[in-house]
Every structure is written in C-alpha cells, then in structure tokens.
A and B are shown apart, each in its own frame.
Chain A
Amino acid sequence: MNRATANAKPAPTSSLSGRDGLPPFAHKHILGIGGVQPYDLEAILDCADHYVVQNRQSGAASTLLAGRTIMNLFFENSTRTRTSFELAGQRLGANVINMSVGTSSVKKGETLIDTALTLNAMHPDFLIVRHPESGAVALLSQKVNCPVINAGDGAHEHPTQALLDALTIRRRVGRLAGLKVAICGDINHSRVARSNIHLLSAMGAEVRVIAPPTLLPSGIERMGCTAFTDMTEGLRDVDIVMMLRLQTERMQGRFVPSIREYYHFYGLTYEKLKVAKPEALVMHPGPMNRGVEIGSELADDINRSVILDQVELGVAVRMACLDMLYQVWHPEDAAKHQDQGENR
C-alpha cells in the first residue's frame, strides 16, 4: 500500500500496511474467528483501540463511510448487537438500515437466498447478518457482492463478540497470551463460546470451559480447551471468568433440572470466585439472567465485572471490522480518505 508513505503523519492503525512483513489483511467477510490468523485478529484489535479513543471524544465522528449503506439483517431477535452495529455504522458516517426479519415471518431458507439476492440488487456496501442456523451467514455471503459480517449464526460463531471480549481483556490486563480464561455455562448452544475458544487459544491464552455434562458438546476439548464439570476446579487460578447466558427454555428439565439446581452448581458467586486469581475479571456477553448464571451483586461490582466495558468496546470493535473490510473492498477510497487527513 502506498498511502502510509504518501503522508508524513503516522498511520493511526496498523490495519493494512506497516505490519512488519506480514501479509495484508485480506478477508472479504468476517464470518468467524476459526481459521483467522492471530496477526489479523491483532490488526482488528489495534484498529478498534483507535476507535475507543475516538468514541470517547464527544461529537467526534468519522466520515470514512460517508455515502455508504450498511444493512443490518437480523433473522433472530437482538437488541444490543444490532444497536451496537447501528451505532458503529453511524459513527463512521454510513447510512444504516435495519431489517428485522423475525423468524416467524421467514418460512424457510429459500427466503434466505431470495432475501440475499433481493438485498444484493439494492447494492448495499455492507451486510450485517444474524441467523438462527449455523452456516447460514456464510451461505448468504456467497450470494452477495459486498462484505458480510456475521452477527451470530446458530451455535457456530459470533466473531465480533469474541473480538470485543478480547479487546476488553487486552485493555484491562494488557495482554491475552498466557492468561487463564474460564468460559462457563451453556457451551453446547453457544456461538460466543466457540468464537472465544478459537480467538483466545489462537492468541495464546489457556482456555477452560465449565458446564454441566449435558451442556458440554462432544469433542469440545479438541477445539483447544480443557473441559470441567466442577466449577470450583475449573475456576482455580483463572484470570478471567466469562459467563454465558442460559436460555430459559433449556432450564426446565431438558438440559438442567431447574434454575435453583443450576445456580447452586454453576451460578457465579463471590464464594465460587474465591478460588480464582484475586484480581480476576468477570465478563458476560449479556443479556444477563441475574440469579441464574450470575449473582446480582457480583454483576454490579465495578471492581470485578467489566460487563459495561464490553458493551462500550463492542461499538469500537464493530467500527474496526467495518473499517478493515472497507479497506479490503475499496482500498483506493480508503486511502483517499486517509490522505485527506481526516479523522478516522
């Protein structure tokens, strides 16, 4: 890339150039963490750091994506992820359109491809897609001519959640490598767990998963983690505790016998947290079930819980994803924008 050399000012991020001889970030979509090289993940996190700073300055919006259109296509209900993407797009100057396609109104997947083709004909510049079926976002990405970001597909991946979790840890602790991270709860149905296992193990963290046996999918350890069914054992000496949401329909005898039984053995409390490192951080992708997977006081403890940091950093991470993909798809426009010396 020539843009870094054209200007005397330092490149604000390490996104495309100046990566010490590493190949440039070349992903056309962000569909998952699995298979993405650690240096590409670092590049997204570095870029996101820049946006964290920008977002904290009031009124400081970028015009990087001015005139561009982002479509949020959610086949599954979501408030926080959709809002976070919406805000990310707006802070980059893009037009954002929300399409909530409730699962009830979508019959079956022919509509998925039809919807993809229909939307593609409107020439969006980005598609942000959430779908209840694993692999559906990748399928859709094959049918469109714009970058696609997976906002969660079935129990497969939720890459931006893992990236924002990593950014949260990196900003709090300063690193990911060598940390002991425990992911606790419904591993079986969790795309957040899968993306986090991929990301944390790629970055050199030691990943543990903690769940009742009925919520541990078979072969999970071969993804690069150690599985525990005893929470106290699993939490011993960990630096980070990531709690997962347990969906109510799974609590009434299908996977766990009852809420109180689950909370007794797998709900995070100060008592259980005692075996972790004294400064261990508690994370949760939200929305929380207080009194199911996490004690209420602990959730509100600003010394331990970084749940609100996660929400804040989520916007920056999603801005970074949009930025990185924009540079892959429109390198000249991105370079021009940079040459104008604008605020990213």
Chain B
Amino acid sequence: MSAKTTVVRNVRIIDPASGLDVPPSPQGGLIAQRGMIREVGPTALTQGTPDDAVVIDGEGQILAPGLVDMRVTVGEPGMAHKETLVTASRAAAAGGVTSMACLPTTDPVIADAAGLEFIARRAREQRGTKFYAYAAATRDLAGQDLTEYGLLALAGAVGFTDGGKAIAGTAVMRRALSYAHQFNKLIIQHPEEPSLAKDGHMNGGETATRLGLKGIPRLAEVMMIERDLRLVEMTGARYHAAHLSTMEAVEAIRQAKARGLPVSCDTAPHYFSLTEMDVVDYRTFAKVSPPLRTDEDLGAIIAGIADGTIDAIASDHMPEDVDSKRLPFAQAATGVIGVETMISIALNLYHQEHLGLSDLLATMTVKPAQLLGLQAGQLKPGAAADFIILDPDHAWRIDAQALHSKSKNSAFDIRPVLGRVEKTVIDGRLVYDRAGALKAVA
C-alpha cells in the first residue's frame, strides 16, 4: 500500500451511494492517502495538491467507485488451467472491478476455513483486485447437509451458495435460510427447478425444437423462486436469486419486494444483451446456465434493472478453455467470461436511455456491496481508495483474444460497444492504466 498521496483531478465525480454527480471543476476531485480516500467531491482540492502527490488527470472523464462483481468463478483451487487468481485479477482491473465475490464451486469446494484462507492468501499475494469468497451452502454441493455457516462466516465467507446448482430440497432450503439468518448472511440461489432442467441445454421452445436440443422450460426459474419466496416468508431470512433470465422471475421478485420480503436478485450482461437466437448455429460460446432466453425476457430484465427490481449486475464470469467449448452443443461446458467486459456491455443500458449513469453504476457498486456487507463501492472519506476513471462513450470492439482472462470464452467477441475503463485504482495504487502513460504509482 502506497504511503504516497494520489490526487485525481479534472473529473466528473459520480458516487451512486451518496447521489453525488458533479461535473469537472478546478477544485473538484479526490485525494487518497495511505490507501484510503481523504477527500472527495467538488471542493476536495480547495487546499491545493500536496507536492509529493501523484496526480491523475481524468481529462474530464468520470470518476466512479471501483466496481463490485458479486458473481465470479475463478479457477483456483483446482482449475488453474482455466483461470488463476492472477489472470482473473488482471481481467478484473481492466474491467474496473476492484472487488469480487468468488463462487465456492472450485476443486476442492470452498466449504471450510482453510478454503477461504487459501483464497484470501492468494489474493494478498497478487495485490490487485480484492477477492471475497462464498462458501458452499451444502456439504460437497450435494444439496443435503448444511456446512458450518457460523464458523465460515467468522472466517470471512460473504454468503452461502451452491453456485450453479440449485438448493433443490425444500426442507434443506428451509434449514439453510433459517440457519443463515442468525448470522445475517445471504443464501444465494441458482433458481432452476432441477428435474425440469435436467439434460436441457438451451431455452425450451421452438428454437430448441428446431435445433433438436433438449430445452429447459423457462418456468423452471420462476417455479424455484416462488417456492423459495414461501420459505423466505416462513423464515424471515434474506434470500438472493442469482442471474435472473426470465420475465416471470423478475415479476415474482418485484411482487415479493412489494410485499416487503427481504429478497434481492442479480442478472448478468448476457441476459440483457443476448437471446436464444445467439445459439442457433450451435454456438457453444454463448451456452450459459440459465440459458439465454427470448427478446421478451431480455426486455423484462432491462425493465427490472431500470425499476430497481434487479439489485445488481454481476458478470457471472466463468472461464472455460477451448477444449470444453469446441464440442457438440450438448457436450460443451456452460459459462462465459465477463468480468472485463461487464461495464462496457452494461453501459449500453445507459446509452439506450433505460437508466441514468449513476443508477446503472449503483447496480455494480454500492448495491452488491451492501448485499454482501462489504465496505466497498462508494467514494467517501475513510473508505478504501478503490475507484475507476471511466470513459462512457469510447467506441471500440471487443476482441476475446485481447482480454486478460486465461480463458477466452467470451460471448461478446467482435461486438462493438461504447465505453471503457481508462484507469483502475485499488487501495490508492494504480493497478490498471489503459494508456500506460502514467507509471508513477506502483
């Protein structure tokens, strides 16, 4: 951590947590010292710039909190050939993500303090993006016996989930919710009724029928959510539905929130940018779980983000190597990488005027941070100096091979997008600089 002072000037400052949104001004900016924010706002630089400060000129672009990605799969332990914490961290920094929460679906599964400590230690070693870890909700992800929620919470687990597997047993889910409740930790569900989804490879319906692929009926998602909502009502526990993909699921969460239930949800960029038509040529690089749905669903997901029903956008980053993807569709692995492209894809919602920049950034900063109880995702004195310089209008084309992840399974290869991260600062250290011009901080 640098003892030096870092000053950011000439920026539009957006902090969704405080509602701050001020244009560039001579005295506006941010001062970071010892890894923390000391001053931020339109008058932060009134007292001038310390002599030894490293100055970042934002060139009129946006200063925003570092992004918090609440759903990421990393390859460690056990799948380092797909991604290491080092490559994931580089990809995250390039995508403006300064904190991310990793799924426990590693090999071995993260289900004890040692597993959590492994992630924490590897994260410390590479001094980049901050890694937080979920722990398995059930032992061996088998959906039967609960893991040690209390001890795991003490060891740093930010929530409990079985990753891409639904907690299917109703009695098990009930116990998981009520037990997690006492530690005020989230249970994160992969909402998909497993017997309906079994052996399915894409969204059920005409397209799957044409392709001769077994479909996953769209209602498999809302069915699981509706059951879970009853259990939330019964237990009073906090519940989070991950990667929403269907219109019905968004509506179920919307109504649950209106009833005052302690529920939240997220979605991923592919669910508001791609549809089942993106797999019509058996394109395994767009094979994800839950599957890509229809135009109608895509519209409902966007509406859910715009009206706040969907709390967070998470990348659902899942590295898979070419050998797992260049297969007949039914045999190919699910998942796409996304931590590096999340902001650029999400900015399309702003450019299409579905919601304002601050509201959009809230879904990737303060909101997921609050859900997980992280001190992250905001610009305020005393908070960690994790922030980004964002050019929301820069036009470029995604090149999967140029992304920093070890695996290149992007569903957005060659897609033209608007907006990218110019600089990423974590704990006051410049960890990513697109221009590469500023090398002083390190």
Contacts and interface: CB of A to CB of B under 8 A. Distances in A.
Contacts of B211: 134-135, 156
A153 B207 contact: no
B206 A135 contact: no
27 contacts: A109-B328, A110-B327, A113-B326, A131-B328, A133-B328, A133-B329, A133-B330, A133-B331, A134-B213, A134-B282, A134-B328, A135-B282, A135-B328, A135-B329, A136-B328, A138-B281, A139-B326, A139-B327, A153-B212, A156-B213, A194-B212, A217-B209, A218-B215, A219-B206, A219-B210, A222-B206, A223-B209
Interface in A95-133: 108-110, 112-113, 131, 133
A344 interface: no
Contacts of A191: 212
B213 to A, nearest CB: 5
A136 to B, nearest CB: 4
Contacts of A109: 326-328, 331-332
Nearest to A34: B210
B52 interface: no
B210 A223 contact: yes
Contacts of B328: 109, 112, 131, 133-136, 139, 154
A218 B206 contact: yes
A259 interface: no
A223 B206 CA distance: 8
A139 B282 contact: yes
Interface of A: 34, 108-110, 112-113, 131, 133-136, 138-139, 153-157, 191, 194, 217-220, 222-223
B42 interface: no
Contacts of A131: 328
B205 A194 contact: no
A192 B274 CA distance: 30
A217 B323 CA distance: 31
Contacts of B281: 138
Interface of B: 204-213, 215, 217, 281-282, 323, 326-332
Nearest to B281: A138
Max chain A C-beta neighbours (<10 A), residue from B211, B212, B213, B323:
B212
Nearest to B327: A109
A139 B215 CA distance: 20
A138 B327 CA distance: 11
B197 to A, nearest CB: 14
A153 B204 CA distance: 19
Given A108-B331, A133-B330, 8 more contacts: A110-B327, A134-B329, A138-B282, A155-B212, A218-B206, A218-B209, A218-B215, A219-B208
B212 A157 contact: yes
Contacts of A133: 328-331
Contacts of A110: 323, 326-327
Contacts of A219: 205-210
Contacts of A112: 327-328
Nearest to A135: B282
Contacts of B332: 109
Given A134-B211, A135-B282, A218-B206, A108 B330 contact: no
A244 to B, nearest CB: 14
Contacts of B206: 218-220, 222-223
Nearest to B323: A110
A218 B331 contact: no
A153 B212 CA distance: 9
Contacts of B323: 110
A23 to B, nearest CB: 22
A267 to B, nearest CB: 24
A87 B250 CA distance: 57
A136 B331 CA distance: 10
| Residue from B207, B209, B282 with most neighbouring chain A CB atoms (10 Å) | B209
B215 A134 contact: no
A209 B215 CA distance: 20
Given A133-B331, A139-B282, A218-B215, A194 B326 contact: no
Most buried by A among B209, B328, B332: B328
